[in-house]
Chain A
Amino acid sequence: MKKISLLLLAVLLPVLLFSHDFSYSAEDLCDLINKNSAGKSEIYYNSQWHKGQTLLELLPLMEDVYRLTIQTEENIYTLTDDELGEEWSESYLVQSNRKLAFFFKGILYDDIKEFRFSGTPMESQSLEIWLSWEGINELRDELEVFARIHGVEIKAVEVPRPESKLISVIRAGGAVPDIIMLQSSAIENLVAARTLQNLNYLDLPDLMNQGIEAFSYENRLWALPFYSDTQVMFYNREIIKTSINSEWTLDDMERISRNIGDDSIHQLAWNSYSSNWLIPFEFSFGKRELIDSDGRISINDVPTQKALSYVINLQEKGLLSSMERDAMDALFIAGKVAFIMSGSYSIPYFASLGLNFGVLPLPINDETDLPLVPLLDFKGLAITRKTDSPILAKRVIQFLTSSAVQQRFCPAMAKLPARDGVLKIPGISYDYADVLDKSASRGIVIPPRNVYGIYKNNMWKLLRFALSGRMSVRQTLEQGQTLMENTTDN
């Protein structure tokens, strides 16, 4: 058997030079910091917070960095690692008192004199990203800054239902975006259609475990969580004038509602036709898993029976008005509803209207001492499988999920940051951040599975029958279970 080493060198190319060396003095870096249009963000070291900027926001965009030399006043440190560039979005330069500090992989390099690195500059010069949900303009602003700093073109397109459009485009053989913003419930379909690349190759920053769970399917991560919305209770401060403790209970909720004493006011309102608003009650009555280990959803169980009975009972007592979101919002804005359960995405909207409202975590169930468990609706950023700019796409995702962007975007949109710890940063915290934080700690994620969509559709029909009294709780749940079995079997 011939050895490859003996084989003919059929082609001998001239040496190709991909790599470049970069060198910056402290003055150069300070200039970059002062001229940079990206906002500064908070970085914690030496027991205090500092304002800095990431290397990804300051230095040329790199495909990879494999050597980094840091010269300080006292020493020269040389780091060699093929993956150094993956840390660019997590590494900060901080300028203070005419000195420059560099925080890299948990180590502080003080009094920087020179900064040299070797790597491959970014080849791709353009990228398309599909955006949806709230905060499009704010995201575009961030992306524009990134594009301007690095001289790349980023086309940010608003696509109302990005997941279904991506599948359509791929089936039609059209041009796909490089990055798509998506929600967790779309993952199974998108994976089955082979539209996404799994992101297991990325070094993950400090992301919330729930965010990782939301986009993990078949032991692979398909998107990086960007932010989440959660379910909270809004109340009209013009109607509810008493102070409410965030550890309030369902009994408190009923008592306060009964004491309103104005027949023209709906005491409580939410879209109880949607299973999304039944699930929190189910968990407060002891349900442990939304999807069983066999991949099915149980409907006809004791926690669900108790949950549905409780909601119907609230309605029969005249405390709860079941209504869909648009009607509920309209009445709340008009001052005709005292409490509504809604998504945290409504906070900026209500605030923009100048409403005098308060926000509470969902209450605790007195019977079980368990809180109503809110759903966490994560939005994430995925890279398409057929992107022609995979490395640029990776850098953009690293930028958007960096602590720096999270510190700017999430407060502006009242979103729960996907990064751990962002809400704890002094000066970053915003109205109701503590409510969101508490809700996040109690919450469960919307699973990345198709069966969840089936469950929602089936329950949407059945809950109307239950709430209108045309079916008993038992009949509703038995029918729901049968429907689930039949639908998933088919």
Chain B
Amino acid sequence: MKKNLSLILLSAMLIAGSCATARMDAVDDLSSATPMGKGWMVNLTGVRNDELWQSNVENWINENPEVSVSMELEKKGSVNIYSGILLKDVVALIDDPSGGMPAEFQEKLWKEGYDITLTAADGYSGTFNTTEADFDEVLLVDSIDGEAVPPMIAGNITGKAWVRDLSEIELSLAPVDLAENSFGFILDINGTSMTYSISDLEKMDIYIEDKGSFTNSHNNTTNSIYGGVKLIPLLSEFMEVTPDTAIRIIAMDGYEMSYGGEMLLDQEDGDWILAFKENGEYMPEDPGYIRLVKAGPDNPNITGHVSARMIKKIVTEGQPFKDFELTLVQKDLTEIFDRQTMQSGVITNKNRVSYYDRKKDVNIEYMGIALWRLLERPTGYKSVTLEAADGYTITLSNDQIEGNDDVILAMYTGENDELLSDNDWPLKIVWDKDAEVVPEGIKAVRNIVKITLEY
């Protein structure tokens, strides 16, 4: 039974959490270190990891009222109306070993039985088996008698599972035999490919286990003990890694991130590792099976968006890594986004247009991020000025770019999503030949380095 609500949740999350702005807290949303919502948050751990935010549930209910459920329940002598969503709809996000999207609640697994461990913010933790409860009678509650409450579990279920101020839901469905699974990690060095299983990697003498952490832009830090292979020694078996080396990491979901050798060679506080164990356990498909982290005895800390997860392939093509900076000016606030930051946002959204090049009379495919999504978070501006490296500017009215996915800031071009040529590098504003709204005054400006919001 495919569920519409899952689609709605997914779309709500994409809308709310997508790279609508170049702020770090939005563009790095593919890293689980980064908040994807507002209000309370519950960590979800099952066959994959996820986070459930208050705003996710609100959006979900707002878009799809039928997912809201209420029960009249008695606890400690008083009868109240408990409202929220069914726990099974949350479980659906992390119970599907096939990882299909939209998420599908695995009713058969629930009936066969597995453990759900519920942990409260104060440390209390209780576990029940799914065979002990009917999945249609257990709620994740967010209000009692209409009054908002921190998330809690309630319903026709054992009292020990009535966990208030819920902070984590963990299913005992974590993938088993991950070390022996069929996943193959590919190392592609200048056209020569090698494939490794997790157990191949674990047997290497460059395997280490040590502390590592990452911090998101909301200053939430995740600390773990990571196990994995040191990246630089692994690459160094086949190539010389220099500060100019460019390394492209491709995730299982197609997400790509480029890294410069300079950053990866900086190992003063720890080693960059391809981690596949977290706190002694193999990581599930998401954020694993392989994740890039920094580890060492000093518990090195990195920003969340550089920690690529679900890594499938590492490619080096002998091309030097070229970084760039995009400056965003809004009133007194100036923000600068580097290539990795922009790249993570672009890959998240992947807005594509077919631009008609009038001079050459050809259609050229571009991929990037819709301008309005990049600028979604700032509000109240009337127009946007885009400036090229040579100082050339165009100004577009916000009225004509708001919600317009046909106008994008492109970073890639061609069928294979190659980086822009030196001529256009690093970013180019383009629009779709069939765009419903083509903003007045727009031109295909290349070498864009600065965006200024006019109020």
Contact = CB atoms under 8 A, between A and B. Distances in A.
A and B interact physically? yes
Nearest to B126: A390
Contacts of B155: 13
Given A67-B77, A118-B77, A193 B146 contact: no
A35 interface: no
**Interface size classification for chain A:** 35 or more
A16 B74 contact: yes
A352 interface: no
Interface stretch (B63-71, B182-190, B354-362): B63-71
A88 B124 CA distance: 19
A18 B125 contact: no
B425 interface: no
Q: Top 6 nearest A-B pairs by Cβ distance?
A: A198-B123, A197-B125, A201-B122, A7-B68, A390-B126, A66-B76
Given A7-B68, A171-B281, A201 B62 contact: no
Contacts of B73: 13, 15-16
Contact of B65 (A7, A64, A119): A7
A83 to B, nearest CB: 11
Nearest to B76: A66
Contact of A120 (B65, B136, B159): B159
Contact of B136 (A11, A15, A386): A11
A82 B159 CA distance: 14
A97 interface: no
A173 B123 CA distance: 22
A200 interface: yes
Contacts of A200: 122-123
Interface string B41-64: 000000000000000000001100
Nearest to A118: B77
Interface of A: 1-2, 4-5, 7-13, 15-19, 63-64, 66-67, 82, 118-120, 123-124, 167, 171, 173, 192-194, 197-201, 220, 383, 385-391, 488-490
19 contacts: A5-B146, A7-B61, A8-B66, A8-B68, A11-B69, A11-B137, A16-B73, A18-B159, A19-B77, A82-B76, A118-B77, A123-B158, A197-B125, A201-B120, A388-B129, A390-B124, A390-B125, A488-B297, A489-B297
Given A2-B62, A7-B61, A10-B68, A199 B159 contact: no
B15 to A, nearest CB: 15
A68 B301 CA distance: 51
A12 B123 contact: no
A9 B72 CA distance: 10
A199 B68 CA distance: 33
Nearest to B69: A10
Nearest to A194: B279
A19 B79 CA distance: 11
- Which label, helix, strand, loop or mixed, suits the secondary structure of the A interface? loop
Interface of B: 61-62, 65-66, 68-77, 79, 83, 115, 117, 119-120, 122-129, 136-137, 142-143, 146, 155-156, 158-160, 172, 176, 225, 279-281, 297-298
A13 B137 contact: yes
Contact of B71 (A13, A201, A489): A13
Given A4-B146, A385-B117, A16 B159 contact: no
Given A13-B72, A15-B73, A16-B74, A192 B137 contact: no
Contact of B115 (A220, A388, A389): A388
Nearest to B280: A193
Which of B70, B146, B281: most chain A Cβ within 10 A?
B70
A7 B125 CA distance: 31
B124 A388 contact: no
Contacts of A10: 66, 68-70
Contacts of B160: 63, 123-124, 388-391
B125 A199 contact: no
A12 B280 CA distance: 43
Given A15-B74, A18-B74, A4 B124 contact: no
Nearest to A67: B77
A197 B225 CA distance: 18
A390 B160 CA distance: 7
Contact of B124 (A2, A123, A197, A386): A197
A4 B71 CA distance: 13
